[in-house]
Structure 1
Amino acid sequence: MRLRTRLTLWYGGAFFAAGAVLVTVVYLIVRSRIADNLPQSDDSLDAIMDAREHFGASGEELAALVETVVRRQQEANAATLQAVLLGSIVALLVVGLLAVAFGSLMAGRVLRPIDAITATAQRVADRSLHERINLEGPSDELKRLADTFDGMLARLDRAFEGQRRFVANASHELKTPLAINRTLLEVAAAEPDAGQGVRSLAANLLAVNERHERLIDGLLTLAGADRAPADPAPVDLADIAAHVAAQFAAEAAASGVTVDLDAAEAVAVGDAALLERLVANLVANGIRHNHPGGTLAVATATAAGRARLTVANTGPAVAAYEIDALFQPFRRGEGRDRIESVRGVGLGLSIVESVARVHDAALTAVPNPGGGLRVTAEFPAP
C-alpha cells in the first residue's frame, strides 16, 4: 500500500473515530435532557387534582387525558432522538468522505517533495549523477533531506568522475610505451642477423604485449561503458549478432566450435558501438570457454515488445554460486583470478554487465545442464 493511501486511511479513520465519539456524546446529552423534561408521576397527580377542582371532570377522564399527553410526548421525544441520531450519522458520513478526499489531497501535497526525491534518484541511478533535486520551500525536514541528497549526489559525482578520468588517463598513458615496445620487438625480430632464440623471445614478448594492449582497451571500454549513451538510437540486435558471428567465424572454426545463429528482428534503443561490444564479448566468451566439438547458440527475438539476446554455449560445468563472480573484473570461476588467462584479460563479462546496466537491460546468466553458460539480455521496449 502506498504511503499516501496509508496516510489518507489514518486521517480518515481518526476523523471518523472522533466524529463517532462526538455523535455519541451529543446523542446522550439530548436524550438526557429530553428525559428530564418529561412529566413525572407526582406532577401528573397534581395536575389531575387541579383539573378536577376547576373543571369538575372525573379522575378517570383526567388520568386518561394525562396518560395520552405523556405517551404522545414520549413518542415525539423518541422520534426526535431518532432524527438527531440519523442526521448526525449522515452528516458524519458526508463530512467524513469530504475529510478523506481532503486528507488525500493534503497527503499528496506533503509527499510531493518525497516524490521529487524519488524521481531524481530513479533518473540518476546507473545513469547520470549530474542531476539535482533543488527543492524549493521552507527549511523543514523535507528540504533538509533534499539538500542532503543533493550533497551526496555531488560527492558521488566527483568520485565517479575522478575514477573515470584516472582509468582513462592511465590507459592512454600506458598505450604509448606498449606501442613503442611492439615496434621495437617487431624490428628486432625482422633483423637479418637475429637468431632463432631472439625471434622466439620476440614472439613471446609480442604476445604478452598484445595481451596488455587488450587489457588497456578493456579498461577504456569499461570506464566508458558506465555512462549512459549520449545519443541513443534504435538498433537491431539481429544485424549486430550476424555481424559479430561473421567476425568470430574463423576463431570458432579453429576452436572446433559450431556457431548456430537465429537472428530474428529485435530492436533496442541505445549506443550501437556498446551493444556490438556486448554481443562480441558474449560470443568470444562462448567460444573461448568451450571445448572442441561444442556449440555456441546466438539468438535474437522480440517478446512483449522487448528485444532479447540469448547466447548459450557448451563447455565446462559452471556452478550457480560462481556466476556472480564471473561478472566481476579479473575474476573467474571457483574464486580464481583470471589474470593468468592467455586468451582473455578478465574484463569481457564485466563490460557486458556495465553495457547492460546503462541500457536498462535485464541481464541473467544460468548454467546449462550439460555444462556451459546461458546468458540472456532483455532490453526495454523502444
Structure 2
Amino acid sequence: MTLRARLTLVYGGLFLLAGMLLLGLTYALVSQQFDRRGENSVSCSDASATHTGGSSEDLAKCPATPSAPAGGSAETRTGQKYTSDVTPANLQENKAVEKAQDDALMALLTQGGIALGVVGAAAIGFGWLIAGRVLQPLQRVTDTARRISEAPAADRGLHERIALDGPQDEIKELADTFDVMLTRLDHAFDGQRRFIANASHELRTPLSLNKALLEVAVRGADASPEVRQLGTTLLDINARHERLIDGLLLLARSEAEVAEHAYVDLADVVEHVVDQLPGDTVPDVITTVGEAPTSGNPVLLERLAQNLVENGVRHNVPSGGWVRIGCRAVHDGSVELTVANTGPVIPRYEVPALFEPFRRLGADRLAGTPGSGLGLSIVRAVARAHGGDVRAEPRESGGLVVTVTLPGLALVSVEHGSGSCEQLRQGAGEVREKAYRN
C-alpha cells in the first residue's frame, strides 16, 4: 500500500471515528433529556387527585403510572399518599409520547449515520487529493532517483538535479540534501575518471621512451647476447605495462556514456575476434553463433568480446581444454554473448571479485599469468554503458560461464531514438571494417 493511500485511510478513519463519537454523544444527550422530561412530567389535567400529608406541588411532580389505576392510591417519592383518577386517554397519551421519543432517537441515528457516511466519503476524497498534493515533491525525488539508477551510464544520471521549488519545509530540505549528494557523487566519479585518464596518458610517454631505448639497445650491432636477452625481457615487461595503461584508458572510456550508436552484429564481432587468435592456441575454440544484431560502439563491443575470449583461453587447463563461444537473439528482444571454458574450480562466493579491477583469484597473480586484471572489469563497464549487464556462473568441473546481455537492435532504436533498424544497418559493413582496422 502506498504512503498516499495510508495517509488517506488515516485521515478518513480519524474523521469517521470523530463523527461516530459525536453522533453517539448527541444520541446520549438527547436520550437523557427525554428521560428527564418523562420523569418530571405527570398528566393531571383529566385526573382528580387527593393526597394526605403533603402539598399539591408534590403531587404535580408524580407521574401517572399503571400501578396507580383510576381510583387507586400511590405514594410520591416523598412518601406522601395520593389517589389518582387516571383515565385510559392519559395512558394512551403517555405511550404516544414515548413512541415519538423512540422514533426521534431512531431518526437521529439513521439520518446522522447517512450524513456521516456521505461526509466521510467526501472527507476521504479530499484526503486523497490533499495527500497527493503533499506527496508530489516526494514523487519528484523518487522519479529522479529512478532515472539515475536506470541510466546506462552513471555520469549521465548524476548530472541531473531535482531543484525543488517551494516553502522551506522538510520535503524541500530532503530534495536539497539529495541534490548536494548528487553533486558530490558527480564530482567524485568525474575526478576518478579524470585521474585514470590523466595518469594513463602521463605514463604512456615514459613507457614509449623506454621501449624506444630498449629496441635501440637490443638491435645494436655491438649488443651482447646477455644484453639482448635482458632487453627482450624488459620489452615484454614494458609491453605488459602498455597493455595495463591501455586497459585503464579503455575502462575510463567505457564507463562514460555511449553517445553514438552504430549497427553491430555480435556474430561478426565474434568471428573476427576468433580469427585474430594465434594459430597455436592450446584450448580448442568452438563457436556457435547466430545473428545477434545490436547497436552501440563497435570498438568497445569488439574489445568486450576480445576480453572474454582471451580470458577463456588464458585461464584454462594445460591440456584437453576448450572454449565455447556463442551468441544469439533471445525472445525478449535482447541479445546474448556467452563464453564458457574449462579451467580451475572457482568458488561461487569469489565470482563477484572477478569483476573488480586488478583482482585475480588464487595464485594467478603470483604464477606470472599474463594480463592486468582488468579484463572482466572492462567487459562489465562496456556492457553497462550499452544498457546491458554481465553475469558469471562457475562450472562444477572447473571453469566459468560468462554471459553478456545487451539490448537488441529494436530496443536500442526505441530507447535512444537512433532511427529505424534499416537505417542503422546502412553502412554496417563500412563501420565494422573501420572498427576492425582500429
Is 1:3 paired with 2:30? Answer: no
Is 1:278 paired with 2:304? Answer: yes
Alpha-carbon separation, structure 2, partners of 1:364 and 1:147? 36
Is 1:263 paired with 2:287? Answer: no
Is 1:365 paired with 2:392? Answer: yes
Q: Tell me: CA distance 1:341–1:68, structure 2 relative to 1, closer, same or farther (3 Å).
A: farther
Verify the 8 A CA contact 1:186 1:202 in the aligned structure 2: yes
- The structure that is helix-richer by fraction is 1
**353-362 vs 282-291, which moves further:** 353-362
**Equivalent residue for 2:345?**
317
Is 1:307 paired with 2:307? Answer: no
Where in structure 2 are the equivalents of 1:122-271 lying within 5 Å? 122-125=146-149, 126-128=154-156, 129-232=158-261, 235-248=264-277, 250=278, 254-265=281-292, 267=294, 270-271=296-297
Q: Tell me: CA distance 1:143–1:190, structure 2 relative to 1, closer, same or farther (3 Å).
A: same
Give the one of 113, 120, 125 matched to 1:89. 113
Alpha-carbon separation, structure 2, partners of 1:78 and 1:236? 86
**Equivalent residue for 1:17?**
17
Verify the 8 A CA contact 2:159 2:183 in the aligned structure 1: yes
Is 1:49 paired with 2:38? Answer: no
Is 1:77 paired with 2:101? Answer: yes
The TM-score normalised by the length of structure 1 is 0.86
- What amino acid does structure 2 have at the position aligned with 1:315? G
**112-121 vs 319-328, which moves further:** 112-121
Q: Tell me: CA distance 1:339–1:27, structure 2 relative to 1, closer, same or farther (3 Å).
A: farther
Give the one of 374, 395, 398 matched to 1:347. 374
Q: Tell me: CA distance 1:311–1:19, structure 2 relative to 1, closer, same or farther (3 Å).
A: farther
**Equivalent residue for 2:61?**
none
- What amino acid does structure 2 have at the position aligned with 1:192? A
Verify the 8 A CA contact 1:330 1:339 in the aligned structure 2: no
- What amino acid does structure 2 have at the position aligned with 1:95? V
State, as a whole percentage, how many aligned pairs show the same letter: 47
Following TM superposition, by how much is the alpha carbon of 1:235 offset from its aligned partner in structure 2, in angstroms? 4.6
Give the one of 92, 96, 100 matched to 2:124. 100
Q: Deviations over 1:173-213 (max 9, x none)?
A: 11122222223323333333433333322221221111111
Alpha-carbon separation, structure 2, partners of 1:27 and 1:235? 79
Alpha-carbon separation, structure 2, partners of 1:127 and 1:365? 25
Verify the 8 A CA contact 1:257 1:290 in the aligned structure 2: no
Q: Tell me: CA distance 1:42–1:81, structure 2 relative to 1, closer, same or farther (3 Å).
A: closer
Structure 1 segments unaligned to the other structure (5+ residues)? 52-57
Verify the 8 A CA contact 2:7 2:131 in the aligned structure 1: yes
Give the one of 108, 111, 126 matched to 2:135. 111
Following TM superposition, by how much is the alpha carbon of 1:233 offset from its aligned partner in structure 2, in angstroms? 5.7
Following TM superposition, by how much is the alpha carbon of 1:92 offset from its aligned partner in structure 2, in angstroms? 2.2
Q: Tell me: CA distance 1:185–1:106, structure 2 relative to 1, closer, same or farther (3 Å).
A: same
Q: Tell me: CA distance 1:77–1:370, structure 2 relative to 1, closer, same or farther (3 Å).
A: same
Alpha-carbon separation, structure 2, partners of 1:200 and 1:19? 97
Following TM superposition, by how much is the alpha carbon of 1:103 offset from its aligned partner in structure 2, in angstroms? 1.7
Give the one of 284, 298, 315 matched to 2:325. 298
Q: Deviations over 1:337-377 (max 9, x none)?
A: 84874421011111222233334434322211111112223
Following TM superposition, by how much is the alpha carbon of 1:27 offset from its aligned partner in structure 2, in angstroms? 2.0
Structure 2 segments unaligned to the other structure (5+ residues)? 50-68, 72-84, 412-438
Q: Deviations over 1:3-23 (max 9, x none)?
A: 222222222222222222122
Verify the 8 A CA contact 1:260 1:295 in the aligned structure 2: no
Alpha-carbon separation, structure 1, partners of 2:224 and 2:296? 52
Q: Tell me: CA distance 1:87–1:177, structure 2 relative to 1, closer, same or farther (3 Å).
A: same
**Which structure would you say has the larger Rg?**
2
Alpha-carbon separation, structure 1, partners of 2:255 and 2:217? 40
**168-177 vs 297-306, which moves further:** 297-306
The TM-score normalised by the length of structure 2 is 0.76
Q: Tell me: CA distance 1:164–1:106, structure 2 relative to 1, closer, same or farther (3 Å).
A: same
Alpha-carbon separation, structure 2, partners of 1:239 and 1:211? 28
